[in-house]
């Protein structure tokens, strides 16, 4: 007899296993000895080196680990590759802040020293999240851990850059870009947030040069007028058609600017005339290009006015300049009106500073051809397959269709420095290394571009750079393309689409077959969790309070829909873990004699054994199917109900008498072995979700552990991680056993119901009389001992006729059986009549519904015959039960 504590303590199991799993190499694909094993690969979405674990990570990691553990147990050569992203801006900010405390700026250190400093920071403070990933139980292969700034990955970045440049897909150019005045770098469109902002719309008058009146423009940013080089109107706007081509005198600066016609202008908005500032507005920039307008930069990289803005403005902050411009317009009598106005403003995703659109020379990636690769792959090969398909496939393809060039340079020091050099006469040399650049240029008088690449440029290569690309490594051949990408929806554009494009471009194949987009864990009010709101729940706290396994079940059942966080939910899964623990406790307490039974289910089996085997195998079938379809929520439900309802509530109870028999016997040993075998298989099914608990218990079971391993892991030190994932054995699926068992369950439930309704004390033994048709008689007779035990009967009779005593509580079962519990002296006839009438009423309502449906000619003719038959059978059953109830009622009167 094996004794374990009454309550499951997750902490002990959590401490016991992870280090051992890792040390023994169970996470690495090399553990698989089968050369023909199918391959399953996931690359982790690399968390930022500055990051720490939040609920979103825990959610994704749980799902990735579930799939990885499942596939590993199913015999796949499995790789889940971990790593981190160098997170250019965040990390640089972090280190800059640290330097500031020492009274230093990065410029004090210089670029090289600064970079060294960042690496030191990474060593000391970075990668907290890696420890936390271990805590989650994630079975990632640490031997293949990668970092986007690793030399190999940096080489991949340079290679990709050079190839794209050579193909004309990367270029350097002067264009309008999003500039963050705080972070002092350019940003891509995706790193900019659009926020609604309450502000004002200013109506400004621009007089004609010839003094004949003025034209009024409306703007939210009056300070940019200092850089205006035109006013635009819609060519079809009759109000202005005669003014096109005329010249205005720009107030304050006294510059002559033309009125141009452009389709971009919406006649209905404002006055229908737009001031054009090509240097500071993306649309104006486009118009400027169309009309060959001068770009006058009046705002600098610190969001201050430049010399070009004029002596009164130079050096002023952009908002101060706005006030001054308005003052001057007012003084000139040119401010027509100011109205309240709500509009969208761009902010830096990271520091929330208002973005300043500036023209600047940057590196860009042309997206047209890459986009076509991705769209063709989706349309012709259906890759990637989005789960759920709606809405993500459309979101993804719509975005691709409207894709604009990607600004890839950043004015940072932390990141992959752009592999471009300039000769003294300004020629651009793009090369994989300085050596190669010198060769190409024929001189060593070269200066490398100061800028680094967008962090997402290296992330875009992640599925193959981590496997060794551009080298044709064994890993790359084996593990690319990966099987599935699990991610949150907010990086479908930033990351997923870009991986698709680079994967197709460089590898000629999609980087992943499927993309599973998880739901979001919201706070209890339905709000997104965020640091600024302070409404986040720390997964580590939840692990601490309820255990990792319970948390994982909670997160897995979130699936693909947004779900409000509910601690109650975790609590219920904690209870489930405890239930498993105690079921195992019972099995272990009654395990003597079981270990010698090698084939517990050989030979003829009693009903409850045939039943549980059928249930177990159907569950295995269901679980496998649901995992293949990423139906995480469904799998959790399937496992929960199989284990709790079928195994605990019924199988253990049905086995109890035999299993707990005081004297040793072959029957007892076999029953014990059967119980343990079902438990053991259940633990294997549960393992991907609850790795710690299942390993802890599995190791304790008196079974031949080594024989339970999947053949691909033969010879490994036994662990449930490498045990074969149960598959459905169709020979053990047994529908008649299930329906027979169901009859027993219904019988027991009805008797318990009567006991409860008639207020029969739990300890009180009853007499139980059953009248049934021959088929059910056989079933009940075979299970008589169990029925007696579960209904707490002292005496049980089963026969074919219904000579029941009048003073009894009675019930009619479906399928042709009646029960009676004689209650001489205890029964209140009126009350019993009431009870039976209620029952009859229920049956009649159901019967009426069926009759109505069957009375509908259209239904009978058009519905499938099977369905019609089914309804008829149910109606017949109801009719028979009604007759039986009538007889009982008659007997009572």
Partner RNA sequence: GCCCGCUUGGCUCAGUGGUAGAGCACUCGCUUCACACGCGAGGGGUCAAUGGUUCGAAUCCAUUAGCGGGCACCA
Does 395 interact with RNA (rule: CB under 7 A)? yes
Please give the Cα distance from 275 to 213 (Å, whole number).
17
Sole binder of RNA in the list 399, 422, 434, 601 (CB under 7 A):
399
Contact 844, 882 (CB under 8 A): yes
Contact 767, 822 (CB under 8 A): yes
Closest distance to RNA from the beta carbon of 409 (Å) = 20
> Please, which of residues 44-103 interact with RNA by CB under 7 A?
none
Q: Count the Cβ atoms, other than its own, within 10 Å of residue 876.
A: 11
Q: Which tokens belong to 819? A: 């029960």
Does 372 interact with RNA (rule: CB under 7 A)? no
Helix (H) or strand (E) run with residue 314 in it: none
What are the beta bridge partners of residue 723? Answer: 709
Closest distance to RNA from the beta carbon of 78 (Å) = 27
Does 490 interact with RNA (rule: CB under 7 A)? yes
Sole binder of RNA in the list 757, 764, 785, 824 (CB under 7 A):
757
Angle between the N-to-C axes of helices 691-700 and 567-589, in degrees from 0 to 180, rounded to the nearest 10: 10
Angle between the N-to-C axes of helices 774-782 and 784-791, in degrees from 0 to 180, rounded to the nearest 10: 70
Provide the Cα torsion 710, 714, 717, 722; round to 10°.
-20
Does 497 interact with RNA (rule: CB under 7 A)? no
Q: Which residues contact 228 (CB under 8 A, 6 or more apart)?
A: 250, 255, 257, 275, 276, 277
Does 29 interact with RNA (rule: CB under 7 A)? no
Sole binder of RNA in the list 24, 172, 255, 579 (CB under 7 A):
579
Please give the Cα distance from 197 to 340 (Å, whole number).
11
Closest distance to RNA from the beta carbon of 235 (Å) = 13
Contact 577, 644 (CB under 8 A): no
Sole binder of RNA in the list 77, 585, 710, 881 (CB under 7 A):
585
> Please, which of residues 420-459 interact with RNA by CB under 7 A?
none
| Residue span binding RNA (CB under 7 A) among the ranges 136-144, 356-364, 387-395, 593-601 | 387-395
Looking only at the bridges linking them, the beta strands covering 247-250 and 255-261 are antiparallel
Q: Which residues contact 885 (CB under 8 A, 6 or more apart)?
A: 812, 836, 839, 840, 843
User: Which of 513/875 has CB closer to RNA?
Assistant: 875
Q: Residues 307-346: x/- map of binding to RNA (CB under 7 A)?
A: ------------------------------------xx--
| Residue span binding RNA (CB under 7 A) among the ranges 188-196, 350-358, 435-443, 725-733 | 188-196
Sole binder of RNA in the list 846, 848, 869, 872 (CB under 7 A):
846
| Residue span binding RNA (CB under 7 A) among the ranges 350-358, 448-456, 556-564, 769-777 | 556-564
Does 282 interact with RNA (rule: CB under 7 A)? yes
Does 707 interact with RNA (rule: CB under 7 A)? no
Does 564 interact with RNA (rule: CB under 7 A)? yes
User: Which of 201/513 has CB closer to RNA?
Assistant: 201
Does 394 interact with RNA (rule: CB under 7 A)? yes
Tokens 């972090």 -> residue: 94
User: Which of 717/757 has CB closer to RNA?
Assistant: 757
Does 648 interact with RNA (rule: CB under 7 A)? yes
Please give the Cα distance from 463 to 482 (Å, whole number).
7
> Please, which of residues 118-177 interact with RNA by CB under 7 A?
none
| Residue span binding RNA (CB under 7 A) among the ranges 36-44, 77-85, 238-246, 652-660 | 652-660
Kindly report the length of the chain. 893
Closest distance to RNA from the beta carbon of 233 (Å) = 8
Does 198 interact with RNA (rule: CB under 7 A)? no
Closest distance to RNA from the beta carbon of 638 (Å) = 10
Listed residue (362, 37, 386) closest to 171, CA to CA: 362
Sole binder of RNA in the list 442, 858, 865, 890 (CB under 7 A):
858
Helix (H) or strand (E) run with residue 554 in it: helix 548-556
Does 18 interact with RNA (rule: CB under 7 A)? no
Q: How many of the chain's residues bind RNA (CB under 7 A)?
A: 94
| Residue span binding RNA (CB under 7 A) among the ranges 208-216, 566-574, 777-785, 796-804 | 566-574
Closest distance to RNA from the beta carbon of 717 (Å) = 29
For 560, list phi and psi in degrees, rounded to 5. -100, 0
Does 561 interact with RNA (rule: CB under 7 A)? yes
Closest distance to RNA from the beta carbon of 486 (Å) = 17
Angle between the N-to-C axes of helices 128-135 and 539-546, in degrees from 0 to 180, rounded to the nearest 10: 30
User: Which of 557/719 has CB closer to RNA?
Assistant: 557
Beta-strand runs (E) in 13-147: 39-43, 77-81, 83-84, 146-147
| Residue span binding RNA (CB under 7 A) among the ranges 281-289, 612-620, 670-678, 723-731 | 281-289
Does 8 interact with RNA (rule: CB under 7 A)? yes
Half-sphere exposure of 193 (CA within 13 A, CB side): 12
Measured distance between the N- and C-terminal CA atoms of the chain, rounded to whole angstroms: 57
Contact 314, 298 (CB under 8 A): no
* Torsional class of 170: left (φ above 0), alpha (ψ -120 to 50), beta (otherwise): beta
Closest distance to RNA from the beta carbon of 735 (Å) = 15
Contact 342, 174 (CB under 8 A): no
Q: Residues 601-640: x/- map of binding to RNA (CB under 7 A)?
A: ------------------------------x-xx--x--x
Helix (H, G, I), strand (E, B) or coil at 694: helix
| Residue span binding RNA (CB under 7 A) among the ranges 92-100, 388-396, 608-616, 731-739 | 388-396
Sole binder of RNA in the list 121, 457, 469, 493 (CB under 7 A):
493
Please give the Cα distance from 288 to 229 (Å, whole number).
8
Q: Exposed, middle or buried: residue 395 (CB in 10 Å: 0-12, 13-18, 19+)?
A: middle
Please give the Cα distance from 392 to 491 (Å, whole number).
12
Does 386 interact with RNA (rule: CB under 7 A)? no
Does 874 interact with RNA (rule: CB under 7 A)? yes
Q: Count the Cβ atoms, other than its own, within 10 Å of residue 191.
A: 22
Please give the Cα distance from 362 to 573 (Å, whole number).
53
Does 203 interact with RNA (rule: CB under 7 A)? no
Does 105 interact with RNA (rule: CB under 7 A)? no
> Please, which of residues 760-819 interact with RNA by CB under 7 A?
761-763
Does 882 interact with RNA (rule: CB under 7 A)? no
Q: Residues 505-544: x/- map of binding to RNA (CB under 7 A)?
A: --------------x--x-x-x-x----------------
Beta-strand runs (E) in 416-559: 420-422, 428-430, 447-448, 452-453, 482-487, 512-517, 521-522
Closest distance to RNA from the beta carbon of 61 (Å) = 20
> Please, which of residues 211-230 interact with RNA by CB under 7 A?
217-221
Sole binder of RNA in the list 649, 824, 834, 841 (CB under 7 A):
649
Does 859 interact with RNA (rule: CB under 7 A)? yes
Please give the Cα distance from 403 to 367 (Å, whole number).
7
> Please, which of residues 248-277 interact with RNA by CB under 7 A?
264-270, 272-275
Does 350 interact with RNA (rule: CB under 7 A)? no
User: Which of 163/579 has CB closer to RNA?
Assistant: 579
Angle between the N-to-C axes of helices 539-546 and 548-556, in degrees from 0 to 180, rounded to the nearest 10: 120
What are the beta bridge partners of residue 406? Answer: 365
């Amino acid at each position: 007899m094996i004794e374990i504590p009454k309550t499951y303590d997750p902490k002990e199991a959590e401490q016991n296993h992870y280090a051992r799993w890792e040390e023994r190499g169970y996470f690495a694909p090399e553990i698989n000895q089968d050369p023909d094993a199918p391959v399953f690969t996931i690359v982790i979405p690399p968390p930022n080196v500055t990051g720490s674990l939040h609920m979103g990570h825990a959610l994704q990691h749980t799902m990735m680990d579930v799939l990885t553990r499942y596939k590993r147990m199913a015999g796949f050569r499995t790789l889940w590759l971990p790593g981190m992203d160098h997170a250019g801006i965040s990390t640089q900010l972090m280190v800059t802040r640290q330097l500031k405390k020492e009274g230093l700026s990065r410029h004090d250190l210089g670029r090289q020293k600064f970079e060294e400093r960042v690496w030191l920071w990474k060593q000391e403070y970075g990668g907290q999240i890696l420890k936390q990933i271990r805590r989650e139980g994630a079975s990632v292969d640490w031997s293949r851990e990668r970092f986007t700034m690793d030399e190999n990955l940096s080489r991949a970045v340079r290679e990709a850059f050079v190839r794209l440049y050579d193909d004309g897909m990367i270029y350097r150019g002067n264009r309008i870009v999003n500039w963050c005045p705080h972070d002092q770098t350019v940003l891509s469109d995706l790193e900019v947030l659009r926020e609604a902002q309450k502000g004002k719309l200013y109506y400004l008058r621009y007089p004609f040069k010839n003094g004949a009146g003025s034209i009024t423009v409306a703007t939210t940013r009056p300070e940019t007028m200092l850089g205006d080089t035109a006013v635009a109107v819609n060519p079809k706007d009759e109000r202005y058609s005669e003014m096109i081509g005329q010249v205005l005198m720009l107030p304050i600066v006294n510059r002559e600017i033309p009125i141009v016609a452009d389709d971009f202008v919406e006649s209905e908005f404002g006055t229908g005339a737009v001031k054009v500032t090509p240097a500071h507005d993306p649309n104006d920039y486009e118009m400027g290009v169309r009309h060959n307008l001068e770009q006058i930069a009046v705002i600098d990289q610190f969001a201050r006015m430049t010399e070009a803005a004029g002596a009164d403005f130079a050096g002023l902050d952009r908002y101060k300049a706005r006030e001054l411009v308005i003052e001057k317009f007012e003084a000139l009598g040119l401010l027509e009106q100011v109205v309240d106005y709500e509009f969208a403003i761009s902010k830096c995703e990271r520091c929330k500073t208002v973005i300043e659109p500036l023209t600047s020379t940057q590196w860009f990636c042309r997206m047209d051809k890459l986009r076509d690769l991705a769209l063709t792959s989706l349309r012709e090969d259906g890759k990637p397959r989005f789960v759920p398909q709606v809405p993500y496939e459309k979101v993804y393809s719509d975005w691709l269709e409207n894709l604009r060039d990607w600004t890839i340079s950043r004015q940072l020091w932390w990141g992959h420095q752009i592999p471009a050099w300039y000769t003294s006469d300004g020629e651009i040399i793009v090369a994989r290394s300085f050596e190669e650049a010198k060769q190409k240029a024929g001189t060593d008088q070269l200066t490398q571009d100061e800028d680094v690449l967008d962090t997402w440029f290296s992330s875009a290569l992640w599925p193959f750079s981590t496997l060794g690309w551009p080298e044709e490594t064994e890993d790359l051949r084996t593990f690319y393309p990966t099987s599935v990408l699990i991610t949150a929806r907010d990086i479908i554009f930033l990351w997923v689409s870009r991986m698709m494009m680079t994967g197709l471009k460089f590898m000629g194949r999609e980087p992943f077959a499927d993309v599973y987009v998880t739901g979001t864990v919201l706070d209890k009010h339905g709000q997104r969790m965020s640091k600024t709101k302070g409404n986040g729940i720390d997964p580590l706290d939840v692990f601490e309070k309820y255990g990792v396994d319970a948390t994982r079940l909670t997160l897995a059942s979130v699936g693909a829909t947004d779900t409000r966080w509910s601690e109650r939910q975790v609590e219920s899964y904690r209870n489930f873990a405890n239930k498993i623990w105690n079921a195992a406790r019972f099995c272990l307490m009654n395990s003597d004699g079981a270990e010698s039974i090698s084939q517990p289910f050989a030979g003829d089996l009693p009903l409850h054994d045939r039943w549980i085997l059928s249930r177990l195998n159907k569950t295995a079938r269901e679980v496998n199917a649901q995992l293949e379809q990423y139906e995480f929520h469904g799998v959790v439900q399937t496992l929960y109900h199989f284990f709790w309802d079928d195994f605990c509530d019924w199988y253990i109870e049905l086995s109890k008498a035999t299993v707990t028999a005081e004297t040793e016997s072959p029957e007892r040993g076999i029953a014990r072995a059967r119980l343990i075998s079902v438990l053991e298989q259940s633990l294997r099914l549960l393992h991907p979700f609850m790795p710690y608990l299942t390993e802890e218990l599995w190791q304790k079971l008196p079974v031949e552990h080594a024989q339970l391993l999947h053949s691909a892991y033969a010879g490994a030190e036994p662990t449930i991680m490498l045990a074969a994932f149960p598959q459905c054995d169709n020979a053990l699926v047994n529908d008649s056993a299930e329906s027979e068992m169901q009859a027993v369950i219904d019988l027991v439930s009805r008797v318990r119901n009567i006991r409860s309704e008639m207020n029969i004390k739990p300890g009180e033994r009853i007499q139980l009389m059953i009248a049934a048709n021959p088929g059910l008689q056989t079933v009940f007779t075979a299970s008589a001992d169990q029925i007696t035990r579960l209904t707490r009967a002292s005496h049980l009779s089963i026969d074919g006729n219904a000579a029941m005593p009048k003073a009894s509580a009675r019930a009619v079962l479906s399928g042709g059986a009646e029960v009676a519990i004689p209650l001489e002296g205890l029964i209140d006839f009126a009350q019993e009549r009431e009870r039976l009438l209620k029952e009859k009423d229920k049956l009649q309502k159901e019967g009426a519904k069926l009759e109505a449906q069957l009375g509908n000619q259209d239904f009978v003719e058009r519905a499938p015959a099977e369905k019609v038959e089914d309804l008829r059978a149910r109606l017949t059953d109801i009719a028979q039960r009604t007759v039986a109830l009538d007889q009982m009622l008659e007997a009572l009167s």
